[in-house]
């Protein structure tokens, strides 16, 4: 039997059936889609497609035999990776060294270390895109943290930017790394270290409605991924209404101060400050282009003038990072919540805001870790489905 080499495609996007486009592929291994396949999907009667899930939870083993253009799957197995498998000492030492480097480069300048305990989760906080209710507590936690960090009227994100939930495990202790996994995307404007910078811009009530309208157009391939999450604002929407006109009301405020309705019809001139991760901000400012002007708005400075750059949107930066933004005077001070030190402005990360927020939560007693609240307030519904 003459055996041949296999051409393997590693795919980043969630396109599990890329093999349809190229019959020459020996096999296809996916990852970004997070789909766990118990058995191969055979495409075009020839190409096996496999994927083992997400976050290193499983190890996959695929054995194939090639004979000319013929491919036979001999076996395919998924092995769960958990604490029942003893670690290798040499690999463990290497991981410990890498963790120290990550602490030094990413976390130390902002007062954190990778294994540092931050808070206790009484139960797991999932981020399930398709189950909006189940992920509400985590979404509220994140957006509340953004608003607390910057003092903006509104904290804003989308389901898909929260990349992981918080797993309770045996003790409920959530470390810096656990929380970082929730918000690991992107980088800063001038700070190249991991994690989005928070940015702030100002919008009218009509602008806010247009932003929500775009995010409420669900993508069947990724249901719930763009669903909007807010703090300092709640909104009512009716999915039965025509597309791009499902939002029927917006209120700003919170449970402590109460909510008040704002004008979303286009006549109101009031501006509301909105803080979000930079990655999301780039999606947001592209909405007018991506809807061909049907959902038009312009991010603004506090004085109502159009915002000219990402740097002008930097929100409430901290002073402990070695990566500095332009000196004071080169950025419009009215558009930025800043902390100045030695004439310079520094950035605050998305993950940092969440960690700071967790550390500020109430604890059971002196020296105890804060406890993430699981109650009616933390589960507040801020996206109200109306009719």
Strand order in the sheet with 8-11: 8-11, 27-30, 47-50, 41-43
Which value, in Å, is the radius of gyration of the alpha carbons in the chain? 24
The single residue listed with the structure tokens 């118990």 is 38
- Nearest CA-CA partner of 262 in 273, 274, 254, 252: 252
Q: What is the pLDDT of residue 33?
A: 65
Residues of the chain with pLDDT > 70, as a percent, come to 82
Q: What is the DSSP letter of 6?
A: P
User: Is the pLDDT reported for residue 323 higher than 60?
Assistant: no
* Tens digits of residue pLDDT in 217-246: 987 777 888 999 999 999 999 999 999 999
Task: Let me know: does 380 contact 135? Beta carbons within 8 Å.
Answer: no
* Local structure of 61: helix, strand or coil: strand
- When pLDDT is cut at 50, 70 and 90, the band that residue 103 belongs to is very high
302-310 CB contacts, 8 Å cutoff, 24+ apart: 302/202, 302/271, 302/273, 302/334, 302/335, 303/334, 303/335, 304/202, 304/271, 307/201, 307/335, 310/189, 310/199, 310/278, 310/281
pLDDT digits (tens, 9 = 90+) for 286-299: 899 889 999 999 99
Give me the domains of the chain, ranges plus CATH numbers: 8-80 (no CATH), 114-385 (3.90.780.10)
Single pTM value for the model:
0.80
Q: Which helix (H) or strand (E) holds 237?
A: strand 233-237
Q: d(Cα 382, Cα 234) in Å, to the nearest integer?
A: 4
pLDDT at 138 over 90: yes
Residue with tokens 């995307």: 185
Please answer whether residues 39 and 77 qualify as being in contact, where contact means their C-beta atoms are separated by less than 8 angstroms.
no
């Amino acid at each position: 039997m003459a055996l041949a080499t296999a051409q393997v495609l590693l795919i980043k996007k969630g396109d599990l059936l890329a093999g349809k486009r190229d019959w020459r592929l020996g096999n296809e291994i996916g990852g970004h889609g997070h789909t766990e396949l118990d058995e191969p999907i055979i495409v075009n009667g020839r190409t096996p497609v496999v994927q083992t899930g997400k976050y290193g939870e499983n190890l996959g083993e695929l054995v194939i035999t090639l004979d000319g253009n013929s491919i036979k799957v001999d076996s395919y197995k998924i092995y769960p990776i958990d604490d029942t498998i003893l670690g290798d000492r040499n690999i463990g030492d290497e991981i410990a060294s890498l963790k120290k480097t990550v602490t030094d480069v990413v976390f130390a300048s902002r007062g954190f270390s990778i294994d540092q305990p931050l808070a206790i989760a009484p139960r797991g906080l999932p981020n399930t895109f398709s189950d909006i209710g189940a992920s509400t507590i985590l979404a509220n936690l994140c957006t509340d943290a953004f608003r607390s960090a910057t003092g903006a009227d509104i904290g804003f994100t989308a389901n898909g930017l929260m990349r992981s939930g918080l797993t309770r495990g045996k003790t409920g202790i959530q470390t810096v790394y656990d929380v970082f996994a929730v918000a690991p995307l992107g980088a800063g404007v001038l700070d190249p270290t991991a994690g989005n910078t928070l940015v702030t811009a100002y919008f009218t009530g009509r602008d806010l409605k247009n932003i929500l309208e775009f995010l409420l157009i669900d993508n069947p391939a990724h249901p719930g991924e763009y669903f909007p999450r807010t703090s300092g604002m709640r909104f009512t929407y009716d999915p039965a209404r025509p597309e791009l006109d499902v939002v029927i009301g917006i209120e700003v405020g919170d449970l402590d101060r109460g909510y008040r309705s704002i004008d979303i019809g286009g006549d109101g001139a009031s501006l509301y400050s909105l803080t979000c991760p930079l990655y999301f901000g780039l999606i947001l400012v592209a909405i007018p282009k991506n809807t061909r002007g049907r959902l038009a708005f312009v991010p603004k400075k506090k004085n109502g003038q159009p915002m000219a750059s990402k740097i002008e949107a930097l929100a409430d930066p901290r002073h402990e990072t070695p990566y500095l933004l332009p000196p004071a005077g080169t950025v419009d001070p009215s558009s930025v919540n800043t902390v100045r030190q030695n004439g310079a402005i520094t950035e605050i990360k998305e993950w940092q805001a969440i960690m700071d927020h967790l550390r500020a939560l109430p604890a059971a007693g002196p020296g105890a870790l804060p406890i993430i609240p699981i109650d009616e307030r933390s589960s507040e519904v801020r996206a109200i489905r109306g009719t």
